[in-house]
Amino acid sequence: MAAKIYINGKMYDKADAKISVYDHGLLYGDGVFEGLRIYGGKVFKLKEHVRRLYSSARAIKLEIPMSQGQVAEAVEMTVKANEKRDGYIRLIVTRGAGYLGLDPRKSTNPQVIIIVDDITLYPPELYENGIEIVTVSTIRNHPAALSPRIKSLNYLNNILAQMEAVQSGCFEALMLNHKGEVSEGTADNFFLVKDGVVRTPPIDAGILEGITRDTVIELAKSAKIEVQEIALTRFDVFAADECFLTGTAAEVVPVVKCDGRVIGTGKPGPITKQLREQFYSLARS
C-alpha cells in the first residue's frame, strides 16, 4: 500500500505530497516538529507530544491553524490510513509559503504535515551490547541565542555534531554546552548511573525536555531508584558505572564506551537493562 501523507486536512500519496518551494520551513527552517512512535497501532504519549509541539510553536510565534485536539485526531487518522501497527510519525508545522525574506509576516498559511513511516536508528544487536559515543567539538546552541527547548526544523547544530560522530566511527555524539557541561546527544537525552543513582543533565544545561526522558525518570522513581537532574562533566561520564541514551526513535540504548574509555564493565548495566525493559513493556502495553 502506498504511504499516505497528511497535509492540511487532506491525504496524499507519497509521490504527490508536496509543499511550495517558497515555504519558509524550507527556506529558513522556520517551523516546528515532533517525532512520535506507534506501538501496536497506538500512538505513544500523543497528548504530551502535541502539547510540546504547541509550546515550541508559541515560542516562535507560530499560530497552528488547528486545536490540539484536532491535531491529535489528524495524527490518529493518518496512522489508520497507513494501516501502521508499529512505526514512526513525523508531525511538522511550517510557517508556510510566502515571499523571500526573513520577515514571518511574508508568510500567512502554516502547513500541518503528518508522515507515518518506519525508522531505525541503531541495529538490534546494539541494544544488547551497547554503543560507543564520542564527545564532539560542536556544542549545543547557546540557550540565550536559541532555546534548545524549541524543537525547530533547523537541526543544523545536531547534524554537524552527527557528522563528527560518523567521522569518528560512532553512531551518536555527546554534545557539551557553552559551559563545557554534558548536554545531550544529537537526537537523544543522556543518562548515567553512579553508585545506584541515575543522573541526567537538567533542563538549564541546554537540552530538549524529552518525552522519553521524562518517562524513564518516572519509571526509575516508581522503581525506587534515586534520580538526580544535575550538571555533569566528562569526568562524570568516564567514571560512571553505566550510561544510556533515551529518545523517541532510540527508546533506551546502552552506552558502553565514550571517547575510547570503557564505561563500567563495558557491558550494559543492570539499571540500564531494568529501565529499558520497563520502558519496553510500558510502550507496548
- So which residues are the catalytic ones? 151
137: amino acid identity, one letter: S
Is residue 215 a contact partner of residue 45, using CB atoms and an 8 Å limit? Answer: yes
Burial classification of residue 89, based on how many CB atoms lie within 10 Å of its CB (0-12 exposed, 13-18 middle, 19 or more buried)? buried
**DSSP per-residue codes, the chain:** ---EEEETTEEEEGGG----TTBHHHHH--EEEEEEEEETTEETTHHHHHHHHHHHHHHTT---SS-HHHHHHHHHHHHHHTT-SSEEEEEEEE--BB-SSS-GGGB---EEEEEEE----S-HHHHHH-EEEEE-S-PPPPTTTS-TTS-BS--HHHHHHHHHHHHTT-SEEEEE-TTS-EEE-SSSEEEEEETTEEEE--GGGT----HHHHHHHHHHHHTT--EEE----HHHHHT-SEEEEEETTTEEEEEEEETTEEPTTSS--HHHHHHHHHHHHHHT-
Q: Grid coordinates standing for 188?
A: 537523544
Cell 512520535 sits at which residue? 36
Amino acid at 221: K
